[in-house]
Structure 1
Amino acid sequence: MAEQLRDFLKALAHAMRNLLPIIIVVVLFQALLLRQWPDNGLSMTIGLLIVAVGVALFLQGLELSIFPVGKRLANQFARRGSMPILMLFGFAIGFSAVVAEPALIAVADQAAQISDGRINALTLRLIVAGSVGLVMALGVFRIILGHPLHWYMIVGYMLVVLVTFFAPEEIVGLAYDSGGVTTNIVTVPLIAALGIGLAASIRGRSSLIDGFGLVALAVMVPMISVQLYGILVYADPGSIANSAELVAPSSDTEPPSGLLVMVLDLFSMLRDVLPIILVILFFQYAVLKRSLADPLRVSIGFALVIIGLYAFVVGLKLGLFPIGQSMAYQLVTLDTWLWVYLFAFCIGFATTMAEPALIAIGQQAEEAAAGKIQGNVIRLLVALGVAIGITIGVHRIITGDSIHHYIIGGYTLVILLTALAPRYIVALAFDLGGVTTSEVTVPLVTALGIGLASQIDGRNVLIDGFGLIAFASIFPIVTVMSYAILMDWVAKSGGKRT
């Protein structure tokens, strides 16, 4: 018990460190520039503390249950060497992990509210989760056969750009944001461990070149599927009224309150986490025909995951969403847009430098690259890319430009750099673009975009409010690949001179 308490306190301190850069940026802007504190500042502060406690409980639960069980399953299936079972396991893990992803839940709920029910939150989550599941199966297939990742990415993003031409503008930003939030607190460790472990277990495969890339595929394919969903949804002009009727509250029914609301929300969290629990238990008992090593420990872990997820969502509503929207409102009232750009840049850089998934991937890359890559350099490049991306995304909202042009231009640049970059960096660069959107960054950045769109005249919240997460995913790929191309050119030039 004492060991578990120490682990929880470490996880809580870790969560607080992740929140600290956001707090520093917000406090500096409030104290030095705005010289005021929001009216609901106390509830925001309480919300941030609840977020930290929720994330700590969630991480503690993952460490006790999902992570160790999932890693053991991946290792056992890799040793069996059965491609159909490995692909089925990849699909199941991808689907179940994304369905339970807190950031995706937050974005889907925001999209449903803003679209007046036209976009269904559960349908959106199932589409994204199904896409990630299929992509995990495809990624396992690629690693086993040793196919180069860059061809998958070039063809895939050409398809992304093509679909964007036909997608309604109301869905484009949301589709790219949905791709950006699929790789987060639950998915990245499981997906990265599956890819690297599988590559390490196959003779002739490189952990750096072949092991990375599953995260990148998990980001790309939902962008296509959600845009196709949007084409279907917005093809029916009457669907807004129908959807609104479905979600409109009845005036004759008293809304639940108090303890009943808490119980219902906890059951909702159980529903969100249940798929990954069922997947793990099915493969453990039905496929491998082995019992769990420590059922009590695993059960406690699952309970902590559910409680932590509940606290996280409550904290979002009290803390991070109001902070983003409040800062957007306050900054818009100033005489110049310069401070909005500066705030976007600072928030992007500060939150990314503290991103735990990025730190983990950077360390794994440094080990796999055997001296070619330094983890700290990777973190700086990615943080710079996120800061640039969010700043460009904010500029698009301010000017009212079409997101189509920015997204198509951004991924055209990515495709070009993919063709030019050294092969060892391609898979890692795309994965790094997927791990920049954390459980803290996503809600804050989403709220900032929605807040700006709601405060600027002539902007549509659904069309203009989403998309910042997409920019935060694109530009780290650009900065990392550009750095690798430059270093490769410098090395070749130095070799020629000598």
Structure 2
Amino acid sequence: MSVVITKFKEVLSSVLPITVMVLILHFTLTPIETPLVIRFLIGAAFIIIGLTIFLIGVDIGITPIGNVMGSGIAKTNKIWWVVVGGLLLGFFVSIAEPDLHILAGQVEAVTSGLISKMSIVFIVSVGIAVMLSIGFLRIVYNFPLYKLLTVLYGIILILAFFTSPEFLAISFDASGATTGALTVPFILALAMGVSSLKKDSKSSEKDSFGLVAIASTGAIISVMIMSIISRTDKITGGLPQETTDTSILGPFIHEFPKIAGEVILALLPIIIIFLLFQKFSFKLSKKTVRKLLFGVLFTFIGLVFFLVGVNAGFMDVGSAVGYSIASLDSKIYVVAIGFVLGVVTILAEPAVYVLTHQIEDVTKGYVKRKSVVITLSIGVGIAVGLSMVRILIPELKLWQYLLPGYIISIALMYFVPKLFVGIAFDSGGVASGPMTATFILAYAQGAAEAIEGANVLVDGFGMIAMVAMTPLIALQILGFIFKIKSKKGGIEINEQQS
């Protein structure tokens, strides 16, 4: 019971800031229609309940299953098993990620079916599967993470020159969307399972991070290759016109069965693979299996409540707030409020919780969860603020942010402690979860709709890419600060952080 209360308090302190922020805006700068406000508050309640249940489910079910599978694959000592295991798990976990389906659906809608939803989902999942296998091999063969990421991002930079601007935005967005609420806990657990078999604890600690980062590059590379092969120079289309639903409970009733179906689809492959492993390899006790499956059930219930709250309660408010603020005479508001929304929204991302707790656990408290969350929040706030500047100044292109940003990120890898390289690159994918993909994206699209000269399609896609990039720099800078502190304080600093 104490675990439930602790989780509930943590979730409440995460979701309250964004709720209070929207209510303050409603009573001051941007009055919102009453049905929207009520839906927003119901959505907030759904998110708090859902996130609490989801996190308990991840602890009881998803993380232990991932750990067992990761160590089971590594224990075989057969390289082909490691490769096949990575390909299978990577493909099925990615193809079922709800966030990826949301993004792929948006791509299909704005391109009027030119790019189908399932083609994006399939291509991204193939990319994730290949990179997850490579990530497993890296852990097994002790290949340095920073060298592999340098090679992978070098390939991405070369492919970027041949990719159309719209596909460039979609490819980076896909990398953020595919590392969502379900994929991240599972991949992190797989990484811990594979790396825990290492005799060297320092090496095991470093290898627990970085797998999400490697997997997410697969999404970018696969979509870029798709763009080059299909030779679609220009995506045409626009946002479909939607009528705002004025009913309060209608959107919740509409979303429940749809999202429940998506989450079942998301969890089913993991359960099937786990039960197959259990039959032929694990031989865990019936009591343990029952407990793990209970955890998966909790994950399912929590994820459904969370996603319904986000989609039915938060999205319309996001675009309404963005539109109203961008319509004000002073444009500084749209940037400043974008920054603050970025800071508070990241606190409610489910995968951020899982990653930051794992960082504290793996480093035995040396890297405090609080310092990672604060750094991540500031990084995402800057990303949203810069995205708003891009909407205000149409001459600013996405690549003018991403190119220098990734060059700085890659350069920093050679100077910061290697543990922080994995943490930073994992955080990039983690930061761009369902809250960002819905509320912040809706805010940006609402603002783009109101600002003359802004393109809703171009400025909408690319927002997730920005949110995925800034944590790479922010958390590596945090690692640099830790490095300087450690040199100054020596053992004392290490003792304080442990």
Q: TM-score range by the shorter chain?
A: 0.7 to 0.9
1:34 to 2:34 alignment: no
Q: Which string of whole-angstrom CA distances, capped at 9 and with x for unpartnered residues, describes residues 432-474 of structure 1?
A: 2222223323321221222223332333322221112221121
Cα gap change, 1:297 to 1:213, in 2 (>3 Å)? closer
Q: Which string of whole-angstrom CA distances, capped at 9 and with x for unpartnered residues, describes residues 60-90 of structure 1?
A: 5555544433333333333333333233323
CA distance in 1, matches of 2:478, 2:259: 46
CA distance in 2, matches of 1:311, 1:117: 29
TM-score normalised by the chain length of structure 2: 0.84
User: Is the Cα–Cα contact under 8 Å of residues 62 and 305 in structure 1 kept in the other structure?
Assistant: yes
Aligned residue number for residue 142 of structure 1:
138
1:22 to 2:24 alignment: no
CA distance in 1, matches of 2:326, 2:439: 17
Q: Which string of whole-angstrom CA distances, capped at 9 and with x for unpartnered residues, describes residues 12-59 of structure 1?
A: 665544322211221222223335556532233333334444445545
Aligned residue number for residue 83 of structure 1:
79
CA distance in 1, matches of 2:255, 2:385: 38
CA distance in 2, matches of 1:62, 1:369: 20
CA distance in 1, matches of 2:425, 2:253: 44
The alignment covers a number of residue pairs equal to 476
User: Is the Cα–Cα contact under 8 Å of residues 450 and 466 in structure 1 kept in the other structure?
Assistant: no
Of the three residues 466, 474, 482, the one matched with 2:477 is 482
User: Is the Cα–Cα contact under 8 Å of residues 71 and 194 in structure 1 kept in the other structure?
Assistant: yes
Q: Which string of whole-angstrom CA distances, capped at 9 and with x for unpartnered residues, describes residues 286-324 of structure 1?
A: 455668546665565555555554444443332121121
TM-score normalised by the chain length of structure 1: 0.84
Aligned residue number for residue 99 of structure 2:
103
Cα gap change, 1:118 to 1:233, in 2 (>3 Å)? farther
Aligned residue number for residue 224 of structure 2:
227
1:408 to 2:403 alignment: yes
Cα gap change, 1:48 to 1:403, in 2 (>3 Å)? same
Cα gap change, 1:326 to 1:36, in 2 (>3 Å)? closer
CA distance in 2, matches of 1:322, 1:263: 19
Cα gap change, 1:481 to 1:62, in 2 (>3 Å)? closer
CA distance in 2, matches of 1:148, 1:291: 37
CA distance in 2, matches of 1:265, 1:380: 31
Task: Give the secondary-structure state (helix, strand or coil) at the position aligned to 1:331.
Answer: helix
1:140 shift after superposition: 0.9
Q: Unaligned regions of 5+ residues in structure 2, if any?
A: 240-250, 491-498
1:319 to 2:313 alignment: yes
Task: Give the secondary-structure state (helix, strand or coil) at the position aligned to 1:419.
Answer: coil
Percent of counterpart pairs with the same letter? Answer: 28
Aligned residue number for residue 282 of structure 1:
276
Q: Which string of whole-angstrom CA distances, capped at 9 and with x for unpartnered residues, describes residues 214-247 of structure 1?
A: 011122221121222234455288x979xx9xxx
CA distance in 2, matches of 1:33, 1:163: 44
CA distance in 1, matches of 2:451, 2:233: 29
Of the three residues 427, 431, 435, the one matched with 2:430 is 435
Task: Give the secondary-structure state (helix, strand or coil) at the position aligned to 1:118.
Answer: coil
The root-mean-square deviation of aligned C-alpha atoms, in Å, is 3.4
Cα gap change, 1:354 to 1:272, in 2 (>3 Å)? closer
Aligned residue number for residue 66 of structure 2:
70
1:473 to 2:473 alignment: no
User: Is the Cα–Cα contact under 8 Å of residues 195 and 207 in structure 2 kept in the other structure?
Assistant: yes
1:152 to 2:123 alignment: no
5 Å-filtered alignment, 1:69-218, equals 69-204=65-200, 206-218=203-215
User: Is the Cα–Cα contact under 8 Å of residues 397 and 465 in structure 1 kept in the other structure?
Assistant: no
Q: Unaligned regions of 5+ residues in structure 1, if any?
A: 245-256
Q: Which string of whole-angstrom CA distances, capped at 9 and with x for unpartnered residues, describes residues 369-420 of structure 1?
A: 4675333222222221111112112211221222122111211111222233
Cα gap change, 1:81 to 1:42, in 2 (>3 Å)? same
1:350 to 2:347 alignment: no
CA distance in 2, matches of 1:13, 1:492: 36
User: Is the Cα–Cα contact under 8 Å of residues 349 and 383 in structure 1 kept in the other structure?
Assistant: yes
Cα gap change, 1:337 to 1:113, in 2 (>3 Å)? same
User: Is the Cα–Cα contact under 8 Å of residues 47 and 320 in structure 1 kept in the other structure?
Assistant: yes
1:267 shift after superposition: 4.4
CA distance in 1, matches of 2:465, 2:403: 12
Aligned residue number for residue 418 of structure 1:
413
1:261 shift after superposition: 9.3
